[in-house]
């Protein structure tokens, strides 16, 4: 594995040195960290990481390679990878390509042999920062200035950049995703779910099929009238990248669906649905990124270990108090992780119940969506 000098420069002037592997290139974005021990391929291909450089806290990355079945989208969307060590050995019966080769094909830079613990501590203290990875420009001052010239995440509409260009159907269930799992065949397709794509992950679509749904995926700016014309049994609002606040047109469309069809939202979908109901969102200091976040279900008082990837949150005090029930709370920082309407058939969560790989504590939420559609 060829290695070369590389730099990570942050907007506040902090510079980290390491060794690049794979693509010799230069990319910039908001630098965040993910605490998951597994699932790096899911991170690579999650559109919610669009515009971001991801530092992985687990020390060795790449040991089980990558394979085409585990992609969460058609390509990697993040800007670059920061790791302590890139494994020189790939060993897994499902692997068809190394992580380094997979990212190199898409010209995405990797910086390894770096003090990731120091970087994570810095981000936790200072908050998420814009940064540049480069093995091309090795002038720290130049890279710091480039980082400062990058757009801030606040006010940035990235969902419109990653959404599908046209409507399509999805029919694959969970089976292909988990070949080592004793996964049952999907339920008979009794429902028609229209899924808004703000950066949707494939395993969300698999879970919707698994509960017995025909799934139609539509672009993020599809109007309420166009969705209702498809005669949905329910509407799903997906995860996605960037700030939810600029998505005014999308929130208006969702507002036009409230009370007319069951609605289930995840992550950015949770935030846009909140905005459709008149609520406000705000940016977290360094976000929630990982597959080990504890969330308490306020209805059952049970704690779920969840997979999360978001940099913004909903202000619970801005939700309509008279007909909103707060259903899930993050036990690390007490932020809102889910709510449902007591008036209309809708609910949403901030985290990812479809996690693959990841904890399955919250998979029941897809069953609750099915029950909501069944009741209509």
Residues with catalytic function: 267, 352, 354
C-beta separation of 13 from 132 below 8 A: no
Residue with tokens 């009370």: 259
> What is the CB-side half-sphere exposure of residue 231 using CA atoms within 13 A?
2
C-beta separation of 109 from 23 below 8 A: yes
**Coil, helix or strand for 171?**
coil
C-beta separation of 337 from 320 below 8 A: no
The three-point CA angle 267-124-272 to 5° equals: 20
Query: Which two three-digit tokens encode residue 51?
Result: 């515009």
Q: 156: exposed, middle or buried (C-beta count within 10 Å: 0-12, 13-18, 19+)?
A: middle
Query: Which two three-digit tokens encode residue 267?
Result: 């992550």
Q: Give the DSSP per-residue string, 312-323.
A: EEE-GGGS-GGG
C-beta separation of 80 from 111 below 8 A: yes
């Amino acid at each position: 594995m060829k290695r070369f000098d590389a730099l990570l420069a942050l907007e506040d002037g902090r510079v980290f040195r390491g060794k690049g592997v794979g693509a010799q290139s230069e990319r910039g974005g908001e630098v965040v960290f993910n605490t998951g021990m597994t699932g790096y391929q899911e991170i690579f291909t999650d559109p919610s990481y669009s515009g971001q450089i991801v530092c992985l806290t687990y020390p060795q990355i790449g040991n089980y390679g990558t394979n085409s079945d585990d992609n969460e989208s058609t390509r990697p969307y993040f800007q670059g990878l920061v790791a302590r060590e890139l494994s020189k050995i790939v060993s897994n019966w499902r692997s068809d390509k190394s992580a380094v080769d997979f990212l190199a094909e898409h010209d995405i830079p990797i910086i390894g042999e770096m003090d990731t613990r120091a970087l994570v501590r810095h981000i936790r203290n200072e908050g998420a920062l814009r940064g540049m990875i480069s093995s091309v420009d090795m002038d720290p001052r130049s890279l710091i200035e480039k980082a400062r010239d990058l757009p801030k995440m606040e006010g940035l509409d990235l969902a419109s950049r990653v959404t599908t260009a046209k409507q399509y159907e999805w029919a694959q269930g969970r089976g292909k995703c988990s070949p080592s799992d004793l996964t049952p065949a999907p339920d008979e397709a009794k429902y028609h779910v229209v899924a808004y794509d703000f950066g949707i992950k494939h395993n969300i679509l698999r879970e919707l099929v698994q509960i017995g749904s025909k799934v139609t995926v539509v672009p993020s700016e599809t109007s309420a009238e166009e969705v209702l014309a498809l005669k949905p049994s329910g509407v799903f609002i997906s995860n996605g990248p960037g700030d939810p606040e600029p998505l005014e047109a999308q929130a208006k469309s969702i507002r036009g669906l409230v009370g007319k069809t069951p609605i289930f939202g995840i992550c950015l979908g949770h935030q846009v649905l909140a905005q459709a109901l008149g609520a406000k969102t705000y940016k977290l200091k360094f976000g929630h990124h990982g597959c080990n976040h504890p969330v308490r279900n306020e209805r059952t008082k049970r704690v779920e270990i969840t997979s999360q990837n978001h940099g913004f949150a909903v202000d619970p005090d801005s939700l309509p108090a008279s007909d909103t029930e707060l259903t899930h709370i993050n036990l690390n920082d007490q932020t809102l992780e889910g709510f449902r309407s007591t008036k209309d058939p809708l609910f949403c969560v901030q985290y990812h119940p479809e996690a693959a790989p990841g904890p399955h504590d919250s998979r029941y939420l897809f069953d609750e969506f099915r029950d909501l559609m069944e009741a209509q």
